[in-house]
Amino acid sequence: MKNTVLIIGAGAAGLMAAYTLSKAGKHVTVLEARNRTGGRIHTLNKELFFKETELGAEFIHGDLPVTKQLLKDAGISGRNANAEMWSYKDGKFERNSIVAGDWDALTEKLDYLQQDIPIWDFLLKEFPGDEHGELRKSLWAYVSGYDTADPRKASTFSLRKEWENEDQDAQQRIEGGYCAVINYLAGECKNKGGQVFLNAIVKQIQWQKGLVKAITEDGMEYEAEQLVIALPLGVLKVKAGSNGAVVFDPPIHQHAKAIQQMGFGAVIKILFEFNTPFWLDEQTKKMAGDEIEQMGYLFSEEEIPTWWTQAPNKSNVLTGWIGGPAAEEKADIPDKEILEQGLQSLANIFNRDYNDLKGKLNAYRIMNWTADPYTRGSYAYDTVEAPQARTILNTPIDNTIYFAGEYLYEGTAMGTVEAALSSGLEAAKKVLK
């Protein structure tokens, strides 16, 4: 079966490449290992008690050109997701508080850094001793929580760039959920004659210049002139023989080495639907004040440290989040245990009885993205070697094999759907050249 372009992975990057190539008249076939499209985008809609609730990507962070254009083309609108950040520590709630310690001293030292090193090494060198313990602790929590990165590996230069360019523009969620965007891309691709095959687990890629063959677990073979690999970095990193691993024949040594030099985070996301938004009741207001109504995000030092509401929308859903090394350590923990840890964390924060909270729980879903064989983690972060590795991976192999994914994005919106869409678009442009 001869196709012009074969794409492996039907997440945002793969489908954006498919959409762009099919619009340009290419015959496209997309192979996806899961039984659904979207990859790390997974909207629960009218499932259990959940409606337009995201198990994966959730927010549009600021003014993102590729996402914005796509939403316009698709006629999909966003809705306001701006909400206050709060923290809970030592029995007290505090508004607009994330990083503790001397932020000004940190930015000053960051400005002087000439040679990139991991952020943890930087902190130990520039802010040693007990007097800076709070700053180190809170930055560990921030880098592992927000960037889902291992602070012992994450690039200081990259974090400096991220913090200097933090977009305080409006946060949005997508009407109908992020899967509305995925369904649009897949639908447009199919309208132009493209095909999307689900449950197609690619095990091996045989290739030579101008010809590729993808062989799936069930023995199906798909041939094409060009191939776009739009798999998550975590899947590309796994060793041959592991579930989801893809073997190249002949091997692509330089690109394989570059893949191992990139950072890929870990995350677990928890969705709890309660029968009432207890975090806004009189008992909570006595502890936190009436302003708790404005709370969107809550940072704590509990086992599951980060929580957010659907504010400014009224909802009975609380989302829990744990990222970085702490999530990596929980990769093999059963969902039931993570459920218990989540409920206990909320019981501790809001001073409630565990069993009482459990009784209020209508539904829950736990997405351990790190344990998921077709994701193996959260999203990319830069290591010290990443810029060099990215240059290699953004270079096509013999104009035959191309890579696409959020880990290849060069801008300031790293680890986002914007990064994935941008990379898919760039890969498609290279194919068309």
89-108 burial: b if 16+ Cβ within 10 Å, else e: eeeebeeeeebbbeeeebee
* Domain identity same for 122 and 73: no
pLDDT, residue 1, reads: 45
Global pTM? 0.95
**From the first residue on, what is the mean pLDDT of each consecutive set of 10 residues in the chain (433 residues)?**
84 98 96 97 82 90 91 94 91 80 87 96 96 92 95 96 77 93 98 97 97 97 97 95 91 97 98 96 92 91 96 93 98 97 98 97 96 96 97 97 97 90 98 94
**pLDDT at position 99:** 66
- Name the domain boundary from 342, 368, 394: 368
Residues 251 and 273 in one domain: no
Residues 114 and 43 in one domain: no
DSSP letter at 150 equals: -
Say if residue 164 is in the same domain as residue 300: yes
CATH for 37: 3.50.50.60
Q: Are 247 and 287 contained in the same domain?
A: no
Whether 239 and 110 share a structural domain: no
Residue appearing with tokens 């000439």: 114
Residues 251 and 222 in one domain: yes
Both 411 and 286 in one domain: the answer is no
Question: In this structure, are 236 and 348 located in the same domain?
Answer: no
In Å, what is the CA distance from 218 to each residue of 41, 246, 249? 26, 14, 18
163 and 222 share one domain: no
> Phi/psi at 340 (nearest 5 deg)?
-65, -40
Q: Write down which residue in 333, 368, 403 finishes a domain.
A: 368
Q: For residue 167, what pLDDT is reported? A: 65
**What's the number of domains the chain is made of?**
2
Per-residue pLDDT at 62: 83
Q: Tell me the C-alpha distance between 235 and 364, whole Å.
A: 27
Domain residues for 285? 83-169+267-368
> Which residue, 316, 344, 368, sits at the end of a domain?
368
Inside any domain, residue 373: no
The verdict on 194 and 218 lying in the same domain is yes
* Residue 378 lies inside a defined structural domain of this protein: no
CATH of residue 353's domain is: 3.90.660.10
In whole angstroms, what is the distance from residue 299 CA to residue 322 CA?
A: 11
